[in-house]
A = this chain, B = another copy of it.
Amino acid sequence: MLHSKLIRPESIVVVGGSDNIHSPGGRVLKNLIDHHFQGKLLVINPKKDVVQGITSYRDINDIPETDLAIIAIAAKYVPEAVKVLTQSKNTKGFIIFSAGFSEKDESGARLEKEVAGMIREAGGSLLGPNNIGLINKHYTGVFTTPIPRLDEKGVDFISGSGATAVFIIEAAKSMGLTFSSIYTVGNSAQIGVEEILEFLDHSFDLQKSSKVKLLYIESIKDPLKFLKHTSSLIRKGCKIAAIKAGSSEEGNRAASSHTGAIANSDVFVDTLFKKAGIIRCYGRNELITVAGILQQKESEGKNIAIITHAGGPAVMLTDVLSKNGLKIPQLKGKESEILLSQLFDGSSVSNPIDFLATGNAQQLEAIIEFCENSPEIDAMTVIFGSPGLTTVEDVYEVLDQKIRISKKPIYAVLPSVVNVKGEIDNFIKKGNIAFPDEVLFGSALAKVYNHTLLSQKTGDFDIGPSEEIRELINSHPEGYMPTEAAVRLLKLAGIKFATPHQVTSEAGLNKIMKSITFPVVLKVEGPLHKSDVGGVILNVSSQTELFDSFHKLMQIEGAVSVMIQPMINGKELFIGAKKEGNYPHVILCGLGGIFVEVLKDISTSMIPVSEEEALKMINDLKAYPILKGVRGQKGINIPAFADAIVKLSDLLMTVPEIAELDLNPLMATENDLIAVDVRIRLEKTETELQPAR
């Protein structure tokens, strides 16, 4: 946890504070002074007794006990300063701006370890090094500008990159987004994004805390911790929007070279976010637009009224909203006719509600009241700019009042960023958000409104005979499990499998002949990619054909045996699972053949997968209509498909050694779902390899 003295220090010393406000030590001091830090403020500067009007000590040994140190001196001097502060000044909070640590080279990394070690041993908390600091309501501990407007209901923002944080704060300013706190983690020598999330989670107060969190991150060191606290915050009523940069392979490489972290396939990040319920964003503008929407009242539905004095932007907004699944319901009936009579000739109330270039404040008021009372409308967007002739002060005044008192959210798109810049600034100063571009706003709105939170699977995972499963796993070494064992494992986990006969000789084939019902499928065992070597023969329907096929398969290079299974008809599905780094398994599913190989139509989820999550996975497939049944063709048993996914998830929760699993294909009919091929690869950590287990 973060030490309370890092969060709420009663005294702060700026190590390296100076009069030069173009240096980090000078600027952070100025920021602390300008934004009225209420506690005791000290400076250490070997050449001065007073810096920016604040008492400065030439020797760090001379200062009194101090809660928090903000350190802005060259890296090589940092260990000595930290030593004194931890050992004799009872300092528990540390923010180290200095660069030249692990981000630079090996010797920097050693220095960082030394410093972090001293602070840890003293029971302190370290933010940084190589960051821009922290802002909260208690103090402004950053060396950058601008300092955003702070507000208890503003967003809590955690950034893995200092410069990016600055650019986000700058972009947020013109929109009116306010902040509650800002944390930048730099090299995360001790405190990373996960630890700050933990702190926000544990200190969350339903009444007082901000409900909107923003993240900019380039790597996730501890996915489970990250998931735990983001999930928890979201279930407590927060909304989290996040950028995880490096979402492409190329970007991933760039992020790794930037952070030194190991790159993870983006599918793991994506499913992690989905599981937690995080709204994923891909750029700064999108992030702050989403945040601006989240800061406002929550809507109860997806029916939007677009209120405008200019047709064009309303049409473009209608386009982007309706293409993304939101509704712009046509308004009809007596009430809307009464509204129309209050507007100038040529106005339209059918939604978009266009009250023309000459539309005024009174009319806007009437329109908003109409929408507030209309059961067909859940939220409003008002678009109002100015061609430069008249003022819009009275219109924005009405907008401000209505935003305050209306039960439904009202979003303000104010496009005239030049003509009425002053009026927009005024509107923002009253605590409002102004979106400049209706289409960027609209796609963010759709993202927020379409975001769904799925119930998570909790509690025990009932997978039946767990001791037998454990024994089976322990008795197999790393690598691919033999098919027979893999099938047994699946059956123990409750997944249906088309019972195979494994045959190695003609004698063996004769032995099982009686128990075979034609037609059957023959598959070679041994070669990894059976299809590629012609190792699968379908629809074998007579004894002669069976023997011929058997001999043919056994001649394939690497052939060890032949599996004989009943030929099952149905739609080909697949379920797979992958593991990477310290992330939980990701389960993938879809239709087989061209759907996965050509159309890349795959859904994913992170274990443990709940039934609701499994159904959502299936529902998200582009080919979903085919599974439901289309063009007179019967669909498949969707609950059985979801059930197999959940059962597989339960298995993976209890057998972390499964590094890779493929059920491909499963044959599905409207009644049944049965796996006909499986491949499982085990990977054991050193503990798991212990024979004693």
Residues in chain A within 8 A of chain B (CB atoms): 22-24, 27, 99, 103-105, 132, 143-146, 160-164, 166-167, 170-171, 173-174, 216, 218, 243, 245-251, 253-255, 257-259, 282-286, 306, 309-316, 318-323, 328, 330, 345-346, 348, 350, 352, 354, 357-358, 385, 387-390, 415-419, 436-440, 593-594, 597-599, 622-623, 625-626, 630-631
B132, B385, B388, B597: the one within 8 Å of A27 (CB): B388
With a CB–CB cut-off of 8 A, which chain B residues contact A248? 318-320, 322-323
Instruction: Please name all residues of chain B whose beta carbon is closer than 8 Å to the beta carbon of A598 when the two chains form the complex.
Output: 622-623, 625-626, 630
Known interface pairs A105-B346, A283-B438, A598-B626; A251-B319 also in contact (CB < 8 Å): yes
What residue in chain B is nearest A385 (Cβ atoms)?
A: B167
The answer to whether B104 and A594 touch across the interface, beta carbons within 8 angstroms, is no
Query: Are B103's CB and A315's CB within 8 A?
Result: no
Set of chain B residues within 8 Å of A253, measured between Cβ atoms = 330
Measured in the bound complex, the distance between the Cα atoms of B249 and A582 in whole Å is: 46
Q: Is the CB of A315 within 8 A of B144?
A: no
* Among A254, A257, A390, A418: residue with most chain B CB under 10 A: A254
Please state if A631 and B597 are interface contacts (CB–CB under 8 Å).
Answer: yes
Chain B residues whose CB sits within 8 angstroms of the CB of A415 once the complex forms: 167, 170-171, 284
Residue from B251, B314, B418 in contact with A315 in the complex, judged by beta carbons closer than 8 Å = B251
- Could you give 30 example pairs across A and B, Cβ below 8 Å? A27-B389, A99-B358, A103-B346, A143-B389, A144-B387, A161-B311, A163-B387, A166-B388, A167-B385, A170-B418, A174-B417, A174-B418, A218-B312, A245-B312, A246-B315, A247-B319, A248-B323, A249-B322, A250-B318, A251-B315, A251-B318, A254-B328, A255-B315, A257-B348, A258-B312, A259-B311, A282-B439, A283-B320, A598-B623, A598-B625
Assembly of this chain: how many copies?
2
Bound complex: CA A6 to CA B319 (Å):
35
Which residues of B have CB within 8 Å of A323? 247-248
Please name the residue on chain B nearest to A164 by beta carbon: B312
Given contacts A282-B320, A283-B439, A316-B283, contact A385 B348 (CB under 8 A): no
Q: Closest CB of chain B to A397's CB: distance in Å?
A: 19
Please, which residues of chain B bring their CB within 8 A of the CB of A251? 315-316, 318-319, 322
- Bound form: Cα–Cα A297–B516 in Å: 72
A312–B103 alpha-carbon span in the complex (Å): 14
Chain B min CB distance to A591 (Å)? 10
Q: Are B418 and A173 in contact (CB under 8 A)?
A: yes
Would you call B312 and A163 a contact (CB within 8 A)?
Answer: yes
